[in-house]
Structure 1
Amino acid sequence: MVTRLLHVSDTHLGNRQYGSDVRREDFLDAFEEAIEYAIDQDVDAVIHTGDLFDSRDPRLPDLNRCIDALQRLDDADIPFLGIVGNHERKMDDQYLDLISKTGAAERLDESPRMVNDEVAVYGIDAVTKPAWHAKDFTLDEPLADAYTILCMHQLLHPPVPEIFAEHPLDDVLERVNLDLDALALGDYHETEGTIEDGTRVWYAGSTERCAKDETSPRTVSLLEIEDGDLTRRGKELNSRDFLPIPITFSEDDGREHAENEISRRNVDGKVVLVTVTGESTAVTSRDIREIVIDRGAAVCRVDDQRGGFEFDDEERSLGDIESADRLIEERLAEQNLSEISVEIEERVRTENVARSGFDDEVEEMMMKAQDEAFDSDVAVQTEGDE
């Protein structure tokens, strides 16, 4: 019997990239295209390896569009099996838990979710760098002879280039108690794969471009598993084209120069990324954006590198915030903090909690940790007395 799964990842629903509602719609459209493809292919399940949403608190319209798409999947009797990524991770209940209450999704964990009684799918949510070494990777035993797939949301080398990776792949494979057949990954937005000690490892990539350097086609992965063998095929999605345009100004160049440079390209319906260099002139970023949009571009972002400071409130992005979160986690990982310290720090950074309520929560967390430590000490002393 052939078991067919569709691997989708890093959909980042709600991402208002470059401050554009057009781009927010693009991310939703790409997700819906992936869901329709799963239905057309009559797969046995869809697995999603994290960052379903772009933020910890998605807008209600984005949440509703997501649930509508998943209910179409549920109507086709195709389960949606997911984990939580770093963008959407909250301290307690996740939005994936909320969606699961509708019956349109299931959150994967250390227990096997059997598909066709032949494939066991597991999930481990995104793990912060400070909590990585304390994380328990123990998985429950599957049914005999089941093909095992673990879903994670981490940057692992290989297949991620070492410069971008957070952890070695070997670290996961050594700490998991099962001989995994496959490791389906999210967080890296390109399609990459490798085989390590007999385990198939890959990233499906993101369904939309989240950065200007993500130039390759956006894809989902169709998996076919038969007699213990897995075949993976990429399906290209109809993502919006990105078009970079460099413009260099000399001292005497004006608006006509920008118009001439832009007219040489077909910008219609595209995300246009203009990089401006050279001498400072009277032509502003706003002028260039106006020219590009008037010629039919869907979105225009201008990176003016001519040296002067120019505040542009239409080009704000969450990318810097995400980078800051990762940097904080890297620094905390170097401090060797206790598990309770890491948990409190993450709650401070990720939750919108009123001061009074937060104080109560921290006190409760500290008391619980003290009780657990006391119980552990008593148990050790009792064993010693015996």
Structure 2
Amino acid sequence: MTRVIHTGDTHIGYSQYHSPVRRQDFLDAFEAVVDDAVDDGVDAVVHAGDLFHDRRPELRDLMGTISVLRRLDDAGVPFLAVVGNHESTRGGQWLDLFERLGLATRLGDEPVVAGDTAFYGLDHVPVSRRDDLDYAFADHDAEYAALVAHGLFEPFGYADWDTETVLTESDVDFDAMLLGDNHTPDTAEVAGTWVTYPGSTERASADEREGRGYNLVVFDGDAAGGDDVVEVRRRALDTRPFVFVEVELREGEGESRVRERVREYDLTDAVVHVEITGEGDPVTPAAIEEFATERGALVPRVVDRRDVETDGDVDVSFADPEDAVRDRLDEMSLSTAARDVESAVRSDTVPDANVRETVKRRVEERLDEEADLDAFDPVGPDTETDEVGGREEEANGDEAEQEPDGDGGNDESDASDEANADEPHTGESDTDESAPDPASTDGQVSMEDYL
């Protein structure tokens, strides 16, 4: 029998809402997983990618992570992991550093045995490179086998990776696929194999309303009832409370009604999201945020979803601005990559809060592919570009970051908070901060400084 903790999408280093407290929350959640692993004496902790929120984590995040991994190592519990899209670099990976320090094992096509189960790994691979994968894995002589992978796999949300293809073309018959990237926990059976996401360990988006946690996965035919050799149990984590206050204003109601609704909740040390709908009088979001802060909220966010009505009749006639923009773009010799960025900025499918992350990821994917560097050369005016898709790191987180994160991820949707709050990243009011400010590199380190 093998018992492992399956986790992922810890996104350490994410200063959600520009809050240092929230940054610490992400490390604390990872530490809580490790605490449970040590207390339970599991055979391994299996991490399915996006350990870090950014490919250039700051020194404090690295040191904090190393400290947590040392505790796991001192307890004799191996840390087995793959590389996610958020943390992936063109050279060595941070996971390689931890492996050199004796604190982790980077999974790949060779089996790593924990208990009586062989574990293999599949790092995040951009969609454009997946046709080149041959899913060739070395043989093993363990009782069971599991593939740990980072990506958006079918049949789950935002999927762009055919799970059945992976399973049928692999040289190894897997009993389970332990996945990361999609921040929503879920389990399904594909081609006779259990496929599961543990979800993120902290809320990387206001869309992630359900409690956070991880999976305890048991490989044992008897423990699973005899019909299957895999049992997946969901375990909860005690994380930062998020409070969601929905206020539907009727005619004549306004700020006092919103305050009344906010008073109904315990806001102590919570991230608070207030959503206003209905009719009623105008409400100043900043005033409600100040009120929530006075009542103990760590981070207050208010979004007013009502249409703004104007007095009197307005008769305006003008050409379609979208047509005007397209005409002007057609006159410019933009590169394919530039047009790709432009489509992401203006796309209806990418929430405003996710534009920065979307642009960053798409440019990085092109840079990662030497064959695609021609995309940065100027081209003729009529070049066609693909529209931005709904990947997890764009729609969740990461994002996704669903993207999905996905950030699946990840990764993080809803642009309207941007109009009423001056930040976040992904999610109702989470402004992306995954790309470091080029004007300030204090505390930033590169992989080459360590390897």
1:19, 1:317 within 8 Å by CA — same for their partners in 2? no
Which amino acid is 2:65 matched to? C
Deviation of residue 87 (structure 1)? Answer: 1.0
What is the match of residue 171 of structure 2? 177
Do 1:18 and 1:317's aligned partners in 2 also have CA atoms closer than 8 Å? no
The residue correspondences of 1:130-279 to structure 2 (distance < 5 A) are 130-142=128-140, 144-158=141-155, 160-161=156-157, 164-226=158-220, 229-248=229-248, 255-277=255-277
Q: CA 1:307 to 1:342, structure 2 compared with 1: closer, same or farther past 3 Å?
A: same
How far, CA to CA, are the matches of 1:344 and 1:106 in structure 2?
36
2:128 alignment partner AA: P
**For residue 53 of structure 1, what is the aligned residue in structure 2?**
52
- Cα deviation per residue 1:190-213 (whole Å; 9 max; x = unaligned)? 221122222121111111112222
For the 8 Å contact 1:208–1:218, the answer to whether it is kept is: yes
Change (3 A) 1:25 1:199: same
- CA distance in 2 between counterparts of 1:60 and 1:304 reads 38
Partner Cα distance (2:191, 2:231) in 1: 17
Following TM superposition, by how much is the alpha carbon of 1:28 offset from its aligned partner in structure 2, in angstroms?
A: 1.2
Q: Residues 319, 55 of structure 1: CA spacing in aligned structure 2 closer, same or farther, 3 A cutoff?
A: farther
Contact 1:195 1:201 in 2 (8 A): yes
Q: TM-score of the superposition, structure 2-length normalised? A: 0.67
Q: How far apart are the structure 2 equivalents of 1:176 and 1:169? A: 11
User: Does the aligned pair in 2 maintain the 1:129–1:329 contact within 8 Å?
Assistant: no
Alignment match, 2:30: 31
Fraction of identical pairs, as percent: 37
| Distance in 2 between residues matched to 1:102 and 1:196, nearest whole Å | 37
Alignment of 1:121 onto 2:151: no
317 and 27 in structure 1: CA distance in 2 versus 1, 3 angstrom threshold: farther
* Counterpart in the other structure of 1:300: 300
Give the deviation of 1:221 after TM superposition.
Answer: 1.1
Separation in 2 of the partners of 1:35 and 1:317? 35
* Corresponding residue of 2:89: 90
Instruction: Tell me how far 1:343 sits from its aligned partner.
Output: 7.4
Please tell me the residue identity of whatever aligns with 1:126.
H
Cα gap change, 1:90 to 1:327, in 2 (>3 Å): closer
Q: Label 1:280 to 1:176 Cα distance change in 2 as closer, same or farther (>3 A).
A: same
Which amino acid counterpart does residue 18 of structure 2 have in structure 1?
Answer: G
Structure 1 position 4, deviation (Å): 1.6
What whole-Å deviation, never above 9, does each CA across 1:205-253 have from its counterpart, x for those lacking one?
Answer: 1111122222222121112223582222111110222222234567866
Which residue identity is paired with 1:132? R
CA contact (8 A) 1:280 1:306 kept: no
> 2:356 matched to which residue of 1?
321
Question: Are 1:5 and 1:223, in contact at CA under 8 Å, matched by a contact in 2?
Answer: yes
* Structure 1: tracts of 5 or more residues without a match: 309-315, 333-337, 355-386
Distance 1:302 1:136 in 2: 49
Question: Given residue 42 of structure 1, which amino acid in structure 2 is its aligned partner?
Answer: G
Name the CA distance, whole Å, in 2 between partners of 1:134 and 1:205.
Answer: 28
Q: Distance in 2 between matches of 1:202 and 1:344?
A: 38
Q: Is the 8 A contact 2:113 2:142 kept in 1?
A: no
Q: Comparing both structures, which one devotes a greater share of its residues to strand?
A: 1
* Structure 1 pair 344–209 and aligned structure 2 pair: CA distance change class (3 A): farther
Contact 1:130 1:329 in 2 (8 A): no
The residue that corresponds to 1:377 in the other structure is none
Instruction: Provide structure 2 residue ranges, at least 5 long, that are not aligned to the other structure.
Output: 222-227, 309-350, 377-433, 439-451
Q: 1:367-382 maps to which residues of 2 (within 5 A)?
A: none
Give the Cα–Cα distance (whole angstroms) in 2 for the partners of residues 78 and 317 of structure 1: 42
> Which range moves more in the overlay, 244-253 or 132-141?
244-253
1:291 partner amino acid: F
TM-score, structure 1 as length reference: 0.77
Instruction: String of CA shifts for 1:232-279, please: whole Å, max 9, x gaps.
Output: 211111022222223456786664343223112222232211123467
Shift of 1:10: 0.7
Higher percent of residues as helix: 1
Letter in 1 for 2:371: S
Letter in 1 for 2:164: D
What aligned pairs does 1:55-74 form with structure 2 within 5 A after superposition?
Answer: 55-74=54-73
- Conserved? CA contact 2:253–2:280, under 8 Å: no
Query: Using a 3 Å threshold, how does the CA distance of structure 1 residues 194 and 251 change in structure 2: closer, same or farther?
Result: closer
Write the distance in 2 (CA, Å) between the matches of 1:224 and 1:204. Answer: 14
Which amino acid counterpart does residue 219 of structure 1 have in structure 2?
Answer: G
Contact 1:189 1:206 in 2 (8 A): yes
Q: Is the 2:247–2:261 Cα contact (8 Å) retained in structure 1?
A: yes
